[in-house]
A = this chain, B = another copy of it.
Amino acid sequence: MAHRKKSKEAALCCEQTIRVRFSEVDSMQVVWHGEYMRYFEDGREEFGRRYRGLGYDDIARSGFLAPVVDATLQFKRPLRMNDEAVIETRYIDSEAAKICFEYTIRRSSDGEISATGTTMQVFVDQNYELCLLQPEFFSEWRNRWIK
């Protein structure tokens, strides 16, 4: 993924505790692997609330959308019914017109890693045309939180 600026952005990270729901567990008695895309999104939404200005609402109000264009997931250990887990969401800064996150999901009971992953989002305008440059609202967000 993107080259990292080893400065302030190390701090751009948030944690959120979730509990496995019955409907997320599959017939193998573990959380269905597809649910982790939702956990990652939960992490991003929490990040957007913690670091004001990068939530779906904020982006939409600025006239843009930020669809996920790339995702990777590595599953280490299954989560099971009633498990609690912590979603750690880390922002990876770059000069490009995109938003990159890394995720680590750990089982609360013992801290063991359940899954890791990444997502990359780009900016599109209301006509779904790709933005090649960082939208102004995003530059301002970076100025506020990164630089």
Contacts and interface: CB of A to CB of B under 8 A. Distances in A.
A98 B76 CA distance: 15
A104 B76 CA distance: 25
Q: How many copies does the complex hold?
A: 4
Contacts of A28: 65, 67
A56 B28 CA distance: 10
A27 B33 contact: no
Given A57-B82, A71-B73, A72-B72, A41 B34 contact: yes
Contacts of A73: 70-72
Contact of A27 (B71, B76, B81): B81
Given A26-B26, A34-B37, A69 B74 contact: yes
Contacts of A71: 33, 71-73, 75
Nearest to A80: B27
A76 to B, nearest CB: 8
A21 B38 contact: yes
Interface in A26-73: 26-30, 32-34, 37-38, 41-42, 45, 55-57, 65, 67-73
Interface of A: 21-23, 25-30, 32-34, 37-38, 41-42, 45, 55-57, 65, 67-76, 78, 81-82, 128
